[in-house]
Amino acid sequence: MPVLASQSVLSQVAWTMGSPSIVLPFLAVSLEMPMFLAGALVSVRQAGNMISDMFFAVPVSAKQQKKRSIALTEVAIGACLLAAIVVAAIGGSPMVAAAFVLAFFAIGMIEEVQALMFTDLWGDHLRSKSRIWMSYLQLGAGGLGAIGLTLTLHHLTSDNPPFSRHSTVIAVSAGFFVLSGLSILALAELSRSQPQAQTGRRAAGQFLSDARAMFEFAWFRRYLTMRLPLVGVSLSVPFFALIAAEAHHGSAKGLTALIISSATGYLVAAPLWQLVNMKSHRAVMVAGSLMVGVTGVVLVAVHYLHLDHDVHLHAIALFVATVATTGIGSARKLYFIDTAPKEQRVKASAAIKSICRLVAIVGSAGLAAVAHMNEVALAVAFLTLCSFWSAIACYRLVTPQPKDAERAT
């Protein structure tokens, strides 16, 4: 457990400082990429996620030892971030746009493979209460570390041009991805006896077959009904970041304020949601959805009243959204691990995520088009409505009994 704890904290620092939802879209806007492309990067990342679900869920499920593969994924994500920064420094606008698209697609594929492996690894090595404790330790300690590092870097690079400041933050993030990958190699994995993994078209065909089969289980259908509205809630963070980047990408403290606000959100989310999650996963998801919805209403209102010139206002909105979505993300993952039978865990996770990814791809692309042709505030208004719908869907959730894992008749 100490190895998993240290690795998860290092990884959290890396993800916070190089966040594909906040830092990279902010950098894209600061490089004067079209707003449609900056928003569509969310869709590109989701497409990478979905392809991993389709082609790699079965091999991941069959893989006996996962720590080396997880280490490689951490290093690969860091390499993607560095490659995007290097191209942005030396390339022209078309090359930079292509580099960001490729980087987001690769990160999407890699992070989803990693998530599938961690779902199984945590399920094997940690009990339910330990998973909750580990999840919030990761958020709290990782958020605190990211705040300290970001403030230090801001002080050291305050006189540098914007691109230099941004690239320094991302380079440090890449370094922490490497450290995270090295740390997990110390884990002593459990031995398991499983069949060899399928690859290529057989894996994709098996995935589709498994996904269709999952709909025969009552627990799966109930979970999916709750999960779909949460897609809109999860999109709030990148679009809240886009509306902030649109207004403050030239500010010397714009990116620093957003990173610190999101890191503080992780730090606050840890103690805020831990006790609630111990009692009820549903309460966390309902409260989080309402927080995003109310914040969206305020953000849209102050935008149209022309009161959103202060970067701190967007930082507060992003802080609230981060607290909410972090709690929701942890609660739904822990709920899923507790609910899904062991033999269905990875396959069901991949099926659910793929369905949600498809919705997210279409939805984020549409919202990016709205943001490009009109303004980001309209996209935020739509996500606000989704958040209130999500609160209702989560409120209606009933924790399944063991018999719900049986095949429906």
CA distance 164 to 167: 5
**In Å, what is the CA distance from 301 to each residue of 47, 56, 88?**
32, 43, 35
Domain span at 339: 2-186+216-405
Neighbours of 90 (CB within 10 A): 9
pLDDT classification of 1: cutoffs 50, 70, 90: low
CB 346 within 8 A of CB 57: yes
Asked whether the beta carbons of 123 and 343 are under 8 A apart, the reply is: no
194, part of any domain: no
Asked if residue 152 has pLDDT above 60, the reply is: yes
Q: How many domains does the chain have?
A: 1
**pLDDT of 28-72, one tens digit each?**
888 888 888 888 888 898 888 888 877 776 677 666 677 788 889
76-87: average pLDDT: 92
207 within some domain? no
Q: Is the dihedral of CA 257, 271, 290, 364 positive or negative?
A: positive
Q: Would the pTM of this model clear 0.95, i.e. be above it?
A: no
Residue 196 resides in a domain: no
How many Cβ atoms sit within 10 Å of the Cβ of residue 304? 11
Cβ-contact 346, 61 below 8 angstroms:
yes
* pLDDT recorded at residue 197: 46
Residue 166 lies in a domain: yes
**Who contacts 403 (Cβ-Cβ below 8 Å, separation ≥6)?**
none
Nearest in space to 112 (alpha carbons), one of 156, 152, 62, 70 = 70
Higher pLDDT, 64 or 26: 26
At 384, which CATH number?
A: 1.20.1250.20
- Residue 133 belongs to some domain of the structure: yes
* In a domain? residue 306: yes
Give domain status of residue 146, yes or no.
yes
The answer as to whether 140 is a domain residue is yes
